[in-house]
Amino acid sequence: MGMEYTVLGSTGVRVSRIGLGTWQFSEAWGVTSYEDARRIVEAALEHGVNLFDTAMVYGRGMSEEFLGRALRELGARRDEVVVATKIPGEFLQPWDVFRAVDRSLRRLGLGHIDVLQVHWPPCWHNFPTCRYMRALERLVELGRVEYLGLSDYPVELVEAARSCLARHDVEVLQVRYNLVERWAEEEHLPYAEEAGMSLLAWSPLAKGALLGKYSLEEAQRLGDVRSREPLFHPENYSQILGLAAKLREVAERYGKTPAQVALNWLLTTSSAVIPIPGARRPEQVAENAGAAGWRLSYEDWRLLDEESRRIRVTYVTW
């Protein structure tokens, strides 16, 4: 079975059920060689992935530059790939919105941005919601952006942001969502389902914690962005290892990998969910793409559901 596709929000645009997140094209995750990034993007295209998620802050533009250049050099048809980028909260002064998007467009070099998401609210700067949302909408009117999205926004603020828009609507919500971090199910998922939005799930493999690849001791020595990740703290990771064992059991029954099962669990949960896992090697892209095209049984979905509910993650780790 190959990649499967869905429609992004109410746009009519066809996107793969598994996207590619590109935070890894940065110092945070260590893919700082363009050739390595190109091979990852090439593998995504080869396996039917056409939804690519990046952000202005990833590598301070490195991710956008690598992604745009790779798509151009690999000859990806512009009308067949969907590039979603994100503008950070501190760039949301109305005049800065245009300045930031101009720079993003130059880095990507793709002519326009398919989906422009606000990365997080302007928590520290007090920019009025309607001022920046109208600036973003103006970019849609001017043809530089196709669709709008919000990332890491509480539902109350999603409502406020949508109320500011005159002719366009928010089509995408992006939130942290995986088998052990499931608060998105409380408000964001039903909201997206009711509104006909797509829910992009970032960190769908919990930065790899779900896979249980490391011992408790090894998890404390990870040197990249995960070194301060609460999920790898002993109090949390010791619980997650039990779930990882169940994922391995289920994976064996289907002839799949634990990562494929964890991603498929999200696909099975809701047709609105589109996981956007990252990858540091082409082989990981191929593996993640293999999460689509099949479904867990209800019984196995419930088995993992129950096992994950036993885990009580704490973020108070110091």
Catalytic center residues: 58
Contact 168, 161 (CB under 8 A): no
**Would you tell me how many other CB atoms lie within 10 Å of the CB of residue 263?**
29
Angle between helices 129-141 and 155-163 (to 10 degrees): 60
Q: Residue 88 corresponds to which amino acid?
A: P
Radius of gyration in angstroms for the set of CA atoms belonging to the chain, rounded to a whole number: 19
- Kindly give, in sequence order, each residue whose CB lies less than 8 Å from that of residue 204, ignoring residues fewer than 6 positions away: 177, 178, 262, 263, 266, 275, 276, 277
Query: Do 57 and 119 touch, CB atoms closer than 8 A?
Result: yes
Instruction: List Cβ neighbours of 96 (8 Å cut-off, separation of 6 or more).
Output: none
User: How far apart (Å, rounded) are the C-alpha atoms in residues 50 and 20?
Assistant: 8
Burial string for 130-157 (b: 16+ CB within 10 Å, else e) reads eebbebbbebbeeebbbbbbbbbbebee
CA angle 142, 165, 110 (to 5 degrees): 35
Residue-wise over 7-34: b if at least 16 C-beta within 10 A, else e?
ebbebebebbbbbbbbbbbbebbebeee
In this structure, the strands spanning 14-16 and 5-7 are: antiparallel
